[in-house]
Amino acid sequence: MSNAAETLEGWYCLNDFRKIDWKSWKSINDHQRQEVLEEMMELWNQWSDTQEKSKGSHALFQIVGHKADIMLMFLRPTLEELTQIELAFHKTKFAEYTVQSTSYVSVVELSNYLPKGEDPYGNPEIRGRLFPKIPNNGYICFYPMNKLRSGNDNWYMLPSRERNQMMRNHSLIGRKYAGKVKQIILGSVGFDDYEWGVALFGEDPIHFKKLIYEMRFDEVSARFGEFGTFYVGKYVPKEHFNHLLQL
């Protein structure tokens, strides 16, 4: 039996994808729409208070294409807090004009990062990666993925030394995009349909294409990677939320 990779877990994560029911939204008058927006701002202010206290993070992205109109992303210390966030959103009037197209539940994850005997939670760099603040500008690319388990291409049957070496080589590609792309790795084994979620952030979305394409030629992706649906969108600050819904 191959040894399991050791992992560290940080904040829990919810990615909530929504389609807006534009027909219903257009059917109400300006006053009703304003009431809906004001209620959402009150909820958003609560999220912002939590973020200012460094007890979580949140962001809204406008998704490009037919799969969703918006994606809400939340990071919190407990799964219960994510449950309460989702419930609070469902109770808003704005939720009545949306349909949840899909969602993804996970937890920020790091693995094989430090030598034995060191306290990772005492390392500021590691803490910054386990409890990150979602970038408040630019674009996001989110996708789920698995490591293949098929015949000779079974990632989990490889010796840990071989897996570690391949992942080190794999990470060298990502380092070439330092300063251009920020990454949050989300472990979802036992939480959702795939084993990981990957969230990439950057000012220029073309860097997502170049990074992921280059990684396709690395053995970790070319031989063992299995990918789900990709979502790309642009960050929407709170003060621009009403512009997103203007008619």
Give the active site residues.
143
Spatial separation of the C-alpha atoms in residues 133 and 51, rounded to whole Å = 8
How many CB atoms within 10 Å of residue 237?
A: 11
Using alpha carbons, select from 100, 101, 92 the residue that is nearest to residue 37: 92
Spatial separation of the C-alpha atoms in residues 189 and 21, rounded to whole Å = 32
At residue 145, the 3 state secondary structure works out as strand
How many CB atoms within 10 Å of residue 3?
A: 9
Q: CA quadruple 209, 218, 110, 114: dihedral positive or negative?
A: negative
The answer to whether the CB of 186 falls within 8 A of the CB of 108 is: yes
Spatial separation of the C-alpha atoms in residues 130 and 184, rounded to whole Å = 9
Beta-ladder partners of 153: 150
Q: Write down how long the chain is.
A: 247
